[in-house]
Amino acid sequence: MEEKRVAIVTGAGKGIGRAIAVALARDGILPVIFDIDPATGAEAVKEVEAAGGKSRFFKVDVSDVANIEAAVSEVEQAYGRIDILVNNAGILSTAWPDNITEAEWDKVMDINLKGIIFMIKYTLPAILRSPAGRVISISSNAGRGGGIGSGIAYSASKAAILGVMRSLARKYAHSGTTFNVVAPGPTSSDIVKGYTEEEFTKVTASIPVGRFGTPEEIASAVVYFASEAAGFATGATLDVNGGIYIG
């Protein structure tokens, strides 16, 4: 069995997910990279190794339940444990009711919400056996209080994450495994490439601190929730958003 705590991080090939994987490695945790893109996944593994950690990449489409089940099983066979799950994979949609299609709605929900549910389903038995099991999901300020640059499907999916994680926190409070959420504000990562120039300008102007966050700032919040020091925090949401949502 692997001696280090093992974390699966979805959508970890780039952006916030990669920053989370690197930060976890620096904190003594072995991050396993789940991503749909083998090229960025391989780059993420190299960055983890450059930071002094070790890692492994699995090509995973979180909208494909069979793919999730098989990959999680392989991780458990390889390391003998899964201690931490970080649900980071997600896509942006800026469509509103007047222009959204059923296909776009379904795609956002499949990745942003269904993926989280089934990642938890297949990792939870192993995580519950860990002495410090952790499930951390990435939501958004759009799920907390609505978002200017994010559409209806994205906001709905990110709001749903809050309900899912709070319910799980209550259900499994006795187990010692914690369920928490990090809700970033606008962050300088590839997902914001979905914004038009007008949307980007509006969002920047709406942030009280006057700038986008960095992936590393979001990763720091995840490292806290993953730590053994955070054992008394469950069902919590940590807003890391430059003041765009306070509540």
Instruction: Read off the tokens for 234.
Output: 């469950």
User: Distance between CA 64 and CA 110 in Å, rounded?
Assistant: 8
State the Cα–Cα distance between residues 105 and 184, nearest whole angstrom.
Answer: 22
- Our answer to whether residue 154 is catalytic in this structure is yes
Distance between CA atoms of residues 50 and 147, nearest Å: 36
For residues 87 and 7, the answer to whether their CB atoms sit within 8 Å is no
Q: How far apart are CA 135 and CA 64, in angstroms?
A: 20
Instruction: Please give the Cα distance from 138 to 221 (Å, whole number).
Output: 10
The side-by-side arrangement of strands in the sheet containing 134-138 is: 56-59, 30-35, 6-10, 84-87, 134-138, 178-184, 237-240
Annotated active-site residue in 79, 122, 154, 245: 154
Element (H, E) at 66: helix 65-79
| Assigned token pair, 30 | 């072995």
- Which helix (H) or strand (E) segment holds residue 85: the answer is strand 84-87
Question: Cα-flanking dihedrals φ and ψ of residue 91, to 5°?
Answer: -130, 155
The b-or-e profile of 206-221 (16+ CB within 10 A means b, else e) is bbeeeebbebebbbbb
| Rounded Cα–Cα distance for residues 101 and 29 (Å) | 41
**Which residues are identified as catalytic?**
154
